Amino acid sequence: MPTQQKTGFALAVVTTVFFMWGFVTVLNDILVPHLKALFDLNYTQTMLIQFTFFSAYFLMATPSSRILAHMGYQMSIVLGLGVMGLGAMMFVPAASLASYPLFLLALWVLASGITLLQVAANPYVAQLGPADKGSSRLNLAQAFNSLGTTLAPFLGGLLILSDHNGPAAAGLKTAEANAVKLPYVGIALTLFVLAAAISRFRLPALPDIEESYGISAGDSIWKHRHLVLGALGIFLYVGAEVSIGSFLVNYFSQANIGGLTERAAAGYVSFYWGGAMIGRFVGSAVLRKAPPGKVLGAAALIASALVWTTVATSGSVAMWSVIAVGMFNSVMFPTIFTLGIADLGPLTARGSGLLIQAIVGGALLPMLQGVLADSIGIHMAFAMPALCYLYIVFYGFKGSRVVRHA
């Protein structure tokens, strides 16, 4: 058993991984308006950013599990950081060539590294020390992930976005493309240094992933209603959260909403993700006393009401109602995930894999909202995530109940 001092230091090292992937993921919300203006894209074309990024979760989750089984936790984390760093460095040639497809390729490589980190770092932190403290450790690490998502829009807005709205003028296009180089080179160097540090530090050894035995003949994850409905819940939740975050800068730039420059609007996106960080601590306390299904249903009901409010209003009311959604997003993913894998027994690992793959909602639903924004306007397009939250209301109050089979 590793010493408490060594375990504590290892937890501190691995927690930085959570911060980095949160920071890099939400930096996409700044890339969306930046590349939209740079390449004069419509909303549907712009949402290829999120589609490319989150499709890696679906495509790379299974290969990442196999890499983890072969290489172990520590080297999988190191490899994930290295792949992320490679993806970040690819932004340099993408900017030099002003190539949108190359930007998308860089994002896919970056997201593939994050997928491997998600698969390796979450169980490592959960098992790094006494079993009864696993949830506490993972919540602490996820709090640092939320810190990254809060800081990224503010810093990214300062370094990447300009003070003008609309497509980049001919004389500014090169400068606009080059604006991403410095931030992403800095991210790449940080990731490479972190990977080198983790590779040299002797992290406490933990058991490798083992196949689950004892599965009853004929049993399948598809026979567990609460799991299947939970996977749909993860799909819709991640899709709604990413859709809202991706459109906030452009939304706040609308004359009837905030009339802000893109740089100023990016600062308000930090409030959206900062609310999720605060809500995570508040929700953790509430969940100690209240049933998780009811907490999830109530949070989703409030989130839906807030999005309907932004659809029906304008000005500051529309701005702050959609920003407030972040507070109620906070409890949704971990609660849906926990409810989805309840009472699966030896099928828990396979059920967890299904839920992770459902994160692909972050790739598909922003594309749908982009189509809606191009056809009915960005304001009315927010009706889509509002409907997604209504399904989560159903799942929290009723769909998450475990139906036991004979």
- Cβ proximity of 263 and 153 under 8 Å: no
What value does the mean pLDDT take over residues 66-89?
88
Are residues 102 and 236 part of one domain?
Answer: no
Q: Please state, rounded to an integer, the average pLDDT across all residues of the chain.
A: 82
Are residues 268 and 373 part of one domain?
Answer: yes
Q: How far apart are CA 166 and CA 210, in angstroms?
A: 53
Query: Which of 215-219, 316-320, 358-362 has the least mean pLDDT?
Result: 215-219
pLDDT of residue 404: 67
- Which are the contacts of 110, defined by CB distance < 8 A and separation ≥ 6? 24, 53, 83, 84, 87, 88, 90
Measured torsion, CA atoms of residues 147, 152, 153, 156, in degrees rounded to the nearest 10: 160
Q: How far apart are CA 173 and CA 370, in angstroms?
A: 24
Query: Which of 104-113, 170-179, 324-333 has the least mean pLDDT?
Result: 170-179
pLDDT of residue 132: 45
Higher pLDDT, 123 or 3: 123
pLDDT of residue 394: 97
pLDDT of residue 178: 78
Quote the DSSP letter at residue 133: G
Q: Is the pLDDT reported for residue 6 higher than 70?
A: no
Domain of 64?
A: 1-202
- Cβ proximity of 347 and 219 under 8 Å: yes
Q: Is the pLDDT reported for residue 225 higher than 50?
A: yes
Are residues 191 and 284 part of one domain?
Answer: no
Cβ-in-10-Å burial (0-12, 13-18, 19+) of 28 comes to: buried
pLDDT of residue 58: 87
Cβ-in-10-Å burial (0-12, 13-18, 19+) of 128 comes to: buried
pLDDT tens digit sequence for 198-213: 888 877 765 543 444 4
In a domain, 328, yes or no: yes
- Which are the contacts of 209, defined by CB distance < 8 A and separation ≥ 6? 65, 68, 69, 123, 349
Are residues 226 and 263 part of one domain?
Answer: yes
Are residues 182 and 81 part of one domain?
Answer: yes
pLDDT tens digit sequence for 114-173: 988 887 776 677 567 665 454 456 667 777 887 887 788 778 777 776 554 454 444 456
C-alpha closest to that of 34 among 103, 84, 88: 103
Are residues 291 and 189 part of one domain?
Answer: no
Q: Is the pLDDT reported for residue 229 higher than 90?
A: yes
Residue 384's CATH number = 1.20.1250.20
Q: Sorting pLDDT into bands at 50, 70 and 90, what band is 240?
A: very high
In a domain, 299, yes or no: yes
Are residues 180 and 98 part of one domain?
Answer: yes
Cβ-in-10-Å burial (0-12, 13-18, 19+) of 162 comes to: middle
Q: How far apart are CA 162 and CA 164, in angstroms?
A: 6
Number of domains forming the structure of the chain = 2
In a domain, 301, yes or no: yes
In a domain, 273, yes or no: yes
Are residues 145 and 23 part of one domain?
Answer: yes
pLDDT of residue 205: 65
Q: Is 212 helix (H, G, I), strand (E, B) or coil?
A: coil
pLDDT of residue 136: 52
What value does the mean pLDDT take over residues 277-287?
80
In a domain, 389, yes or no: yes
Are residues 277 and 154 part of one domain?
Answer: no
Kindly state the tokens that stand for 19. 């911060």
Rg (CA), the chain: 21
Q: Is the pLDDT reported for residue 197 higher than 90?
A: no
Cβ-in-10-Å burial (0-12, 13-18, 19+) of 397 comes to: middle
Q: Domain boundary residue among 176, 202, 228?
A: 202
Query: Which of 71-75, 280-284, 308-312, 327-331 has the least mean pLDDT?
Result: 280-284
pTM: 0.74
Are residues 236 and 134 part of one domain?
Answer: no
Higher pLDDT, 36 or 1: 36
In a domain, 208, yes or no: no
Q: Domain boundary residue among 202, 236, 263?
A: 202
Q: Domain boundary residue among 154, 176, 202?
A: 202
In a domain, 290, yes or no: yes
In a domain, 213, yes or no: no
Are residues 336 and 261 part of one domain?
Answer: yes
Are residues 162 and 44 part of one domain?
Answer: yes
pLDDT of residue 340: 84
What value does the mean pLDDT take over residues 358-371?
90
